[in-house]
Every structure is written in structure tokens, then in C-alpha cells.
Structure 1
Amino acid sequence: MTPLRIGNFSGFYGDRAAALREMLTGGELDVLTGDYLAELTMLILARDRLKDPGAGYARTFLRQLEDCLGLAHERGVRIVTNAGGLNPAGLAERIREAAGRLGVPVRVAHVEGDDLTAAHPGALAAHAYLGGFGIAACLRGGADVVVTGRVTDAALVTGPAAAHFGWEPGEWDRLAGAVVAGHVLECGTQATGGNYAFFREGDVRRPGFPLAEVGADGTCVITKHPGTGGFVDVGTVTAQLLYETAGGRYAGPDVTARLDSVRLRQDGPDRVRIEGVRGEAPPPDLKVGVNRLGGFRNEVAFVLTGLDIEAKADLVRDQLADALAKSPPAEVRWDLVRTDRDDAGTEETASALLRLVVRDPDQEVVGRALSGAAIELALASYPGFHVLAPPGRGEPYGVFEAAYVPQTAVEQVAVLPDGRRVVVAPSRETRPLEAVPAPPLPEPLPPGGPTRRAPLGLVAGARSGDKGGDANVGVWARTEDAWRWLAHELTEERFRELVPESRDLPVTRHVLPNLRALNFTVGGILGAGVAAQHRFDPQAKALGEWLRSRHLDIPEALL
């Protein structure tokens, strides 16, 4: 059977606006998917809905689609997206209105049932992660455009594949293969050289968006349209497979994919074949993303220039101690960021930043804590006093938490183009999620060879990201000898040494020999999630690159 060609045109809310047209005109496709819903996006859409009950969906998608709806219809390309966010029915109706204005005969369907906000008092948004069979029902019902709310990112691929090939629940290996393909596609150009550790190996100034040629057996080839920028190789696909995952089991509502079974091989220029994927029954529970208002946050960054940086920082802390003690915020955090250099050639490179962040449930508290006291130091503090921007009254911030409900407690409904409502049954067979037993490690390199102190990134790639308050850091080797060294060298203890922030946090190492990779999860390093802005890099996007910059004793044979 001819493979189903599924492309991606969006990896987040705000991605390249022209990508939908680029993908429609760049080559042959059957289905185009767009992913818009990060954890933070759900909070943004919830705040939009507070101002306008008719909002709650990704408005940028509607503008993209209006520009390309006729083109998609002419080419027979179906579009599947989670841009419906908190209001998939509302977005579906806006699409119908746009199609009517444009005179394009488009059949629109949507999926609902994920909204559990009413069951979580005080939440701005609480949504279950649904699987792909609601999407499949919409496509089988004749839809040209399918809009969903909160589904798993991979469901945007598993749904079309199940509809096209006639897969049913329980075909674990086929579904797992589609989940892996969907995970590679979901972040758009991260599969084609974007945000890639070895980006200098190709032209990534404007990488093309990826597509997957999915077979009836669940195997696939990851590629991109001819002539587009970026590149697809085993490394770019490995990096994305490790992104925001953890161990050998990758759980979803339809299937648990065994990432430890994935095998990759180069299948020609810009083509990587994924095969060998095994699947298991999904867990009995669905994940629910709960977004709440966490309180209010205020910040000021003092610029410290030239000599005596540490003493200047101490002075500011002492001067603000009384003001912070009079009306103490619930949380006070100081961070001295040493960006300064000795004998610097510019003032900016001679300067460090001292950041003060305060949080409290009361906006007045965070406003009083900084607004007056910090600015009153302007003529009475360290030499060269200035700040990046004056503090304000404080801004609200959100917190994210994951909850779980039985699959049977959520009714997924596919609303077909003719208005019929089809209830999508949960998986009949489930399996509690368990960690995969640690696989055997490769033989270590022969001992006693010469070593050199050098950055880890000379022999390993990495990609990192966030899941709620936790971070994951995937690290992979590009040669078998480098893997033999990495698997024994980069233990949980060594990771804690190289990433001091993790020393008092739970760190778990997962070994994926087929990918020559290690995947670390660091519990709690991001506090209450990205919206809380707990640390300098609130989504841990660069945590892997920091790890690659750390120095170890590396065998010279690998360098």
C-alpha cells in the first residue's frame, strides 16, 4: 500500500506563518498537521477566554488557513490541528464562516470532551490529553479539516494514519510506530536541523518543515520537501525522539510506544527510516494538564559594571533587606549572573546582572517590595548604578500541574461535518505504566588510554526540554566508541556534578542503547512550570547545551 504522506506546518503557537503555504506548494502531501498547544499556550488561551468567552483558540491558525484554504482544497490535502485549544467548536465555526466567504466547499469537524475545568475548582483550564481515534472518526466521516482541543501531540499523526489504513484499537505496534512518527514531526523544524546540537553541519538559516511517509505497518521515513533548507539525518531524528521524553516507555491514550525498540537508519539524502517500533496497551489513566493562577511576580535587574562586582552585589542586597523585611513577599530570589569580563572592550561585556525576583499571592506586596525601594537607590548605592528596566506593580503568573483521571471518566466526542456526534470509546485494554528494566551497557573502552580535558559536546549531542516542573536532557553519541565511553561515564552522579542545580533534586537516568542515548529527568528543577518562570531558562531549552559545554576527561581517541 502506498505510504501516507503526513507533513507538519506548526510546532508551537507563533511558528512560521508562511509554513502552511510552503508545505502545500513544496511537494506531494496527503495530510498536514499543526501543533499549537504547549503547556504555556493553554494558560495564554485561558486568559484570552477570560476577556472574551468566544476566544480560546489559536487565532493565527485561522489567518493562515484563510490564505490557504482554497489551495488545500485544490490539492486534496486534509488539515488536522489542535489549534482549537479551549474552544474547538468555536474555531470550527469560524472556519466554516471563512470557507463560506471564500466559496470553498470544505467539510469541517472537531473533537471535544477534553475540557475538565469544571472538575478542578480554581483552575483557569484543566484539559485531558486525548488520543487520535476522535480525529480518525472525523476523517472517516468525510472531514477535510479537523480541529481538536487538547490531544497528545502525536495524536495528530496517529489519527490520520488509523483512518487511512483502517487501524483499530489494539494494533499496538502500528499505533506505536505512528506515535513515534508524530513525536518527531510535532515540533516542526526541530526534526530538520532547527535547535540542533550540530547545526553547523548544514544550512539551517531557514529549515524546511518535516514530513513522514507512514506505512501500513507503522514504519515510516522522516524527510522534507525537496529544495527546502535544513537537513534530516539520524542525528536530527534522534534529538527529537529524546525531546521531552524519559525512559523506554512513552505513554499515550491509544498506546504506549517502546522507545527502546526504535531503530533508525539513513535511507538516502534527507531521509531517515524508523522501524522496529513495538507498542503496548496504554495506561488506564489519562493525563490532565491543570493551569492555575499562582500569584504575582515582580523583578528588577541591577547592572553591575567593572570592578568589585561581588561587593556591589552585597551592597544592594544589604540596602534592600529592610524594605523586603517590612512587607515580606512569600518568595525572594537573588541571582548574580556573571556575564562580565576582565579588561573588557565594551561596557556591556564589563557588566554583570544582579536579578531580584519576588513572588506573592498579593499584587500589592510584590509592588511595594520593589517599586519604591529599588528605585530610591538610584543615587545612593554602588558606583555606576542603573537597572535594565524599572520594576512595575507586578504581573500574574501561572502554575502547571499534572493530574490523572481514569480513561473511562472522559467522554471523547467526534463532531462530524454533518453535525452527528460520535462517542469514541476508550481503550478496552490497558496496562499500568512501569519503568523498563535497565538494559545491559556496552563494553567499556579499554582502560589506561590517554585523556584530555575537553567539553562533552565534542563527542555527544544533547537536547532538553520541560514537562511541567521537571526537565529532561537527552544525550546521544554519534559513534559506537563514543557510546561505549558515554554509557559508563555519564552516570547520575556525574550529571549532578556537571549540573550543580540538580544536586539536591531527583535525577533519573534512562538508557536507550538502540539510539546510543541516555535520557535524564530532573525532578522539580523548573518549579511550578514554565509560566512560573522559576529559573533563568524556564523551559530548560538550553540545559542540554550547558551540559555539552562542561569539561570532562575524554579519551583522546574520541577527540
Structure 2
Amino acid sequence: MTDAVRIGNMSGFYGDRFTAMREMLEGGELDYLTGDYLAELTMLILGRDRLKDSSLGYAKTFLRQLEDCLGLALEKGVRIISNAGGLNPHGLAVAIRELADRLGLDAQVAFVSGDDLLKDAKKLGLGEPLTANAYLGAFGIKTALGRGADVVVTGRVTDASLTVGAAAHAFDWGYKDLDALAGAVVAGHIIECGTQATGGNYSFFTEIPMGHLGFPIAEMAADGSSVITKHEGTGGAVTVGTVTAQLLYEVGGPRYLNPDVTTRLDSVELEQLSPDRVAVRNIRGENPPTDLKVSLNFLAGIRNEIDVVLTGLDIEAKAKLFEEQFRAALPDEPAELGFELARTDRPDGTTEEQASALLRVVARDPDPAKVGRPFSAVAVELALASFPGFTLTAPPGNGSPYGVFEPGYVDAALVPHRVTQPDGVTVSIEPSPLRAAVPADEDTAVPPATDFGPTTTVPLGTIAGARSGDKGGSANIGVWVRSDEEFAWLDQALTADRVRELLPEVADLTIRRYALPNLRAVNFVIEGVLGRGVADNVRFDPQAKGMGEWLRSRPVPIPTAFLPANTLPANNVTKEN
């Protein structure tokens, strides 16, 4: 037991900054260091790796980082927790033990498993996927640390569980400590994506000292409150804004479900204590859900695509001609064939690129023959027989496999959550005895209209920040402002229907709206905009990372009293009453 523990993060995805582990270990004091390597798409990638070689299925980068830093971590007494085990945490644990022996280090390694439900997927009603992994909670990690593990690797635990497990061990929390667990879930969610909490992907990045951003640290207290910070002298900043942005990333309604607790995001309170120190307090926790979410990836077939360049005049007519010719020439049309015209051209463009549009042609089918060589050959054969100026951005290929993501749900009692200790003993982790049905979040009602005075039509992002991301086949956009008065306006002005008007691509989709007054934020979940998940989606922005910035760029009437002087009508904007 201790007064506070410092839990750092050094990875937000598989491919994040390789040197971050050493930077975090050398940059200042830490008790624990977490690394998040998994995402829905990553599980598909690891699944394909495992098909080629059954000994793979884990994040190889993590092992290379440990080769450089394991000795340093042991010297400093920093315990490392990571989900880099992916589909093969046992294999990664063995590789780490072999690495430690080769380096002459005495490292105690444990691994958490049981999330892989592939062998029982059909029996559990999950179909026949390529991967099937339940999102486990934090108590396997807590148990491993309690038995002396220096390194704990897991499979598919929830991202926040890396932090929750460390804090639960440090303060000896149990399943009944719901508020404390919820506080650690919030801290874990803030730091899990690395530098997104210190200025990365931040709407108001021009206000941040950007460059080589530092990774975040959560200073956890025994009651579940935390202070988010970073090592002194590192780039970026930790502000109420950067923390708010990350809190809104890839969330839905006020209830944020985890295996050990349901966290009330609408209870979170933030306060800027000093430069690069933000307090996170008063989080409430409720009973966790009965079921665990399961990440399911299916190999769906072969996808092929070509990008056709259309230059100058008659863009629409050229696109229409090519589509008609292409469809007519195909020997066998694929199951899915789409043509999407991106009008990137400008009138009287001063460069050829500025005068050109792109026509993307995408084909998908379970049969490789329908989207492989015959599909590509048709595009090539039309080179001299179609519209003037015909060219492609690249020679067409034979296509590649693609997958689709589906969420599944399984009673937590049916998932064998296990931890194998450094001494080789395997312990079973029982699910929370507090599991219960969780009420569905209801869309937040729009408050009655209030007169905020004269308005000026400027981009929404003049006063509002946004963070967006993928949630399976859906996307979320969290929008926030920086004063109570601005939130009162935002809450009534930014409705689901207004979002449909501002983002015509989503006009026909279901949009859920949730207000989070403590964060001065409104979160929108746009259902189905990403189809069957990131790996299947061919949208321009397949992970919806830029959707929030698109929304910020759209002009809306904003109360003039909220606007900086340099956005008033003298700068060619429209003033309205």
C-alpha cells in the first residue's frame, strides 16, 4: 500500500514510437509502465500472422523494445504491463524469458490468457471467425503483480485494464471498490493512446508546444482519483483540453462499460492544477455488465481497387463513361462493385493535380477470380478506349484478402480468465460477483432554446474542439468547448439533425447524441458509417479519425460574444441577428 503510484504509458498502438519505452524509463520516476498494442484491426493482422506461423500472433516490436530496456526497467524497479501478447500471450512470455536468460537478467514474467475463444466460438454462438477474443478485466494483472511479476503480458484485455490492474495491485482494491475502479478506468482511458493525451491529434494544436511529444503518466491515488502529467522537459502539454479530447475518444454514452465496473463518464471532473498537471476526480462506478464483449474478425474475401485520374473539363461525364464501359467489359461482376468520385479538382487549376479528380473503383468478392486479374485487365484495356486524358494513379494489382469486424457478447462466467505466474502456476480469475444488467443510455434531450444574442457564421471549430474515431462499424465524434456559457449554447445548437446537415455523408444514418456537461461536451455516435469495420471499409477516412475535424470546419452561426476579435465580420464572415 502507498499514497500514490505513477503509471506511465509508452505505446498507443502497434507501430507507435519505438524509443518510447526507453524515454519513459529514463525520463523520470515511474512505478509501472504500460503499453497498449491492440486494436480491432491489429487482431486481424495478428490473426493472419498466426495463420502463416502458429508461433506468432504477438506484437514483435514489444520484444525488441524489451531487448533494449528490460535491464533498465529491472534496475529502476519499474514493472511493465502490456497487451502485446495479442493472440499468443504464452508465446510472448516464453520469448521474454528466453530473452532475459540470454541477457543474464533475473526477470519474473507472467501472462494472462483465456480471452481466446476461437476453439469454442461456434459452440458459444459466435460463428466461425478468424479470431475471437473476449475483453478481459484487470484482476488477472493484479494477481500476477501480487505474485512478484516484473513483466505481465496479456491477450485481449480492455485497454484501460492495464492501468486498472496496476492500481488495483498497488492499493489492494477488490471488486466492491467500484468508484476507485472507475477512477482507474478513466485514468487508463486517458493514457492508453499515448501522446493523444499530451497534444497529439488535438484540435487546438497551435496552442501546444508540439514536436517530440512526451507520453502521459497517471499519478493514481487510493480513492481512484488521479493527476495526469508527463515527464518534465518533454514536448507537448497536459491541459484540461488535451485530457478532455482523449476522454471523448471512441466512447458512446455516459456509461462506459468495462469487465470490472461500469464507469460514469458524466461524473468526471477535471481541474488544471498547474502546468502539465490535470486532476481527475469524483468518478462514480456502477456494477459491471453480465457479459463480456468479444472482438470477432472474419476473413470475408478478396478486395481490389483502382484509382482513375480525370483531368480538366467534363469530369462527371468522364466518370459516367468509364463506369459504363468498365461494367460492360467485366466478364463476371463481383458481389460488390463501387464507384466513388472525389471532386478534388479546382476550376482553372494552376497545376495538373489541382485540375484533376479521382474516381475510386472498389470490388469485393469471396471468389478471387472475380476481383483479381480479370478486374485489373479491364482497367488496363480501357486505357486507349475511354475518356481523354485517361491514366491511373498506379498499375492495378490482383487484390488482397480483407476482413470484417463484428462484436459478440458472452457471459463472463463462460470465459476462462487465467493468469500463469512466474513460478508456472496457473490461477483462475473469477468474474466480478457484482455483474448485473446495465441500463441502456438514452439520447440526451436538447434543452429549450435560449437567446445568446447576435451571431456570426464561422467554422464550428473557431470555438469548439473535436475528437473522433472508430467503434466497429460506427464512429463517434466528441465535441467540446471551454466555458460554461459556450456549452449552454453548444448543447442546444448541436443536435443530431444539425450534424446530419453539416455532414451530408451521414444524413441517412442513425445518430445518437449524449451530453456530458462536466466535460462541456456533446458526444455523437454515428451508427454504420464504417460498414463492417475498419478492415472492410473503403471510405476516404476508414477509421473516422478526421471526421471531427471535418465537422469543425463547417460554418455555423455562433454567438458573436464567444468569438475572438480576429473572427468578426471584418474578416469576411457573415453577421446575423
Q: Same fold (TM over 0.5)?
A: yes
> Counterpart of 2:36?
35
1:136 aligns with 2:142: yes
From 369, 378, 386, the equivalent of 1:381 is 386
Give the secondary structure class of the aligned counterpart of 1:279: strand
Deviations 1:270-297 (Å, cap 9, x if unpaired)? 1110001000110000000011101111
Looking at structure 2, the residues matched to 273 and 347 of structure 1 have their Cα atoms a distance apart, in angstroms, of 52
Matches within 5 A, 1:356-505: 356-368=361-373, 370-436=375-441, 445-447=450-452, 449-505=453-509
Matches within 5 A, 1:195-210: 195-210=201-216
Give the secondary structure class of the aligned counterpart of 1:164: helix
Looking at structure 2, the residues matched to 438 and 123 of structure 1 have their Cα atoms a distance apart, in angstroms, of 33
Segment of structure 1 superposing worse, 279-288 or 298-307 = 298-307
- Give the direction of change, closer, same or farther, for the CA distance of 1:369–1:551 in structure 2 (3 Å limit): farther
Segment of structure 1 superposing worse, 472-481 or 106-115 = 472-481
Query: How much has 1:436 moved relative to structure 2?
Result: 4.1
> Counterpart of 1:177?
183
Query: How much has 1:356 moved relative to structure 2?
Result: 0.5
Looking at structure 2, the residues matched to 466 and 548 of structure 1 have their Cα atoms a distance apart, in angstroms, of 18
Give the secondary structure class of the aligned counterpart of 1:532: coil
Give the secondary structure class of the aligned counterpart of 1:63: helix
Whichever residue aligns with residue 133 of structure 1, its letter is F
- Give the direction of change, closer, same or farther, for the CA distance of 1:364–1:48 in structure 2 (3 Å limit): same
Give the secondary structure class of the aligned counterpart of 1:136: helix
- Give the direction of change, closer, same or farther, for the CA distance of 1:444–1:192 in structure 2 (3 Å limit): farther
Deviations 1:479-509 (Å, cap 9, x if unpaired)? 2222111100110111111112222211100
Whichever residue aligns with residue 27 of structure 2, its letter is G
> Counterpart of 2:258?
252
> Counterpart of 1:316?
322
> Counterpart of 1:111?
112
Query: How much has 1:446 moved relative to structure 2?
Result: 2.4
Looking at structure 2, the residues matched to 476 and 278 of structure 1 have their Cα atoms a distance apart, in angstroms, of 21
Looking at structure 2, the residues matched to 15 and 368 of structure 1 have their Cα atoms a distance apart, in angstroms, of 35
Whichever residue aligns with residue 492 of structure 1, its letter is A
Percent of aligned pairs sharing the same letter: 61
Looking at structure 2, the residues matched to 458 and 90 of structure 1 have their Cα atoms a distance apart, in angstroms, of 50
Report if the CA contact (8 A) 1:12-1:187 is conserved: yes
Query: How much has 1:440 moved relative to structure 2?
Result: 7.4
Looking at structure 1, the residues matched to 549 and 44 of structure 2 have their Cα atoms a distance apart, in angstroms, of 28
Segment of structure 1 superposing worse, 34-43 or 329-338 = 329-338
1:331 aligns with 2:336: yes
1:149 aligns with 2:150: no
Looking at structure 2, the residues matched to 511 and 462 of structure 1 have their Cα atoms a distance apart, in angstroms, of 14
Query: How much has 1:344 moved relative to structure 2?
Result: 1.9
Report if the CA contact (8 A) 1:302-1:388 is conserved: yes
1:539 aligns with 2:540: no
Deviations 1:10-48 (Å, cap 9, x if unpaired)? 000000000000000000000000000000000100111
Whichever residue aligns with residue 517 of structure 2, its letter is P
Give the secondary structure class of the aligned counterpart of 2:26: helix
Report if the CA contact (8 A) 1:463-1:544 is conserved: yes
Looking at structure 2, the residues matched to 333 and 241 of structure 1 have their Cα atoms a distance apart, in angstroms, of 36
Matches within 5 A, 1:2-13: 2-13=3-14
From 267, 278, 283, the equivalent of 1:277 is 283
Whichever residue aligns with residue 134 of structure 2, its letter is A
Report if the CA contact (8 A) 1:444-1:484 is conserved: no
Give the secondary structure class of the aligned counterpart of 1:527: coil
Whichever residue aligns with residue 396 of structure 1, its letter is P
> Counterpart of 2:573?
none
Whichever residue aligns with residue 451 of structure 2, its letter is P
Looking at structure 1, the residues matched to 325 and 538 of structure 2 have their Cα atoms a distance apart, in angstroms, of 24
Report if the CA contact (8 A) 1:248-1:435 is conserved: no
Looking at structure 2, the residues matched to 21 and 201 of structure 1 have their Cα atoms a distance apart, in angstroms, of 28
Looking at structure 2, the residues matched to 241 and 418 of structure 1 have their Cα atoms a distance apart, in angstroms, of 38
Query: How much has 1:435 moved relative to structure 2?
Result: 3.1
Report if the CA contact (8 A) 1:181-1:220 is conserved: yes
Query: How much has 1:2 moved relative to structure 2?
Result: 2.5
Query: How much has 1:386 moved relative to structure 2?
Result: 0.7
Report if the CA contact (8 A) 1:262-1:515 is conserved: yes
Query: How much has 1:76 moved relative to structure 2?
Result: 0.4
1:127 aligns with 2:133: yes
Deviations 1:127-173 (Å, cap 9, x if unpaired)? 00000000000000000000000000000000010011010111100
Report if the CA contact (8 A) 1:313-1:354 is conserved: yes
From 529, 533, 550, the equivalent of 1:529 is 533
Looking at structure 1, the residues matched to 38 and 442 of structure 2 have their Cα atoms a distance apart, in angstroms, of 32
Give the secondary structure class of the aligned counterpart of 2:354: helix
Whichever residue aligns with residue 388 of structure 1, its letter is T
Matches within 5 A, 1:233-312: 233-312=239-318
Query: How much has 1:442 moved relative to structure 2?
Result: 6.7
> Counterpart of 1:354?
359
Deviations 1:52-111 (Å, cap 9, x if unpaired)? 110000001000010001100110000000000000011001001111111111100000
From 538, 555, 560, the equivalent of 1:556 is 560
Looking at structure 1, the residues matched to 323 and 355 of structure 2 have their Cα atoms a distance apart, in angstroms, of 21
Looking at structure 1, the residues matched to 349 and 235 of structure 2 have their Cα atoms a distance apart, in angstroms, of 38
Looking at structure 1, the residues matched to 347 and 287 of structure 2 have their Cα atoms a distance apart, in angstroms, of 59
Looking at structure 2, the residues matched to 379 and 394 of structure 1 have their Cα atoms a distance apart, in angstroms, of 23
Report if the CA contact (8 A) 1:224-1:270 is conserved: yes
Question: TM-score, normalization: structure 2?
Answer: 0.95
Whichever residue aligns with residue 280 of structure 2, its letter is I
Whichever residue aligns with residue 105 of structure 1, its letter is D
Give the secondary structure class of the aligned counterpart of 1:123: coil
Query: How much has 1:232 moved relative to structure 2?
Result: 0.7
Report if the CA contact (8 A) 2:140-2:165 is conserved: yes
Deviations 1:425-458 (Å, cap 9, x if unpaired)? 10101121223456676775425x2222211111
Report if the CA contact (8 A) 1:130-1:412 is conserved: yes
Report if the CA contact (8 A) 2:443-2:512 is conserved: no
Looking at structure 2, the residues matched to 172 and 525 of structure 1 have their Cα atoms a distance apart, in angstroms, of 34
Aligned residue pairs total 557
Looking at structure 2, the residues matched to 304 and 99 of structure 1 have their Cα atoms a distance apart, in angstroms, of 57
Report if the CA contact (8 A) 2:239-2:277 is conserved: yes
Segment of structure 1 superposing worse, 304-313 or 87-96 = 304-313
Report if the CA contact (8 A) 1:528-1:534 is conserved: no
Question: TM-score, normalization: structure 1?
Answer: 0.98
> Counterpart of 1:162?
168
1:99 aligns with 2:100: yes
Whichever residue aligns with residue 111 of structure 2, its letter is H
Query: How much has 1:533 moved relative to structure 2?
Result: 2.3
From 220, 228, 234, the equivalent of 2:226 is 220
Query: How much has 1:534 moved relative to structure 2?
Result: 3.4
Whichever residue aligns with residue 454 of structure 1, its letter is V
1:46 aligns with 2:67: no
Looking at structure 1, the residues matched to 444 and 534 of structure 2 have their Cα atoms a distance apart, in angstroms, of 33
> Counterpart of 2:15?
14
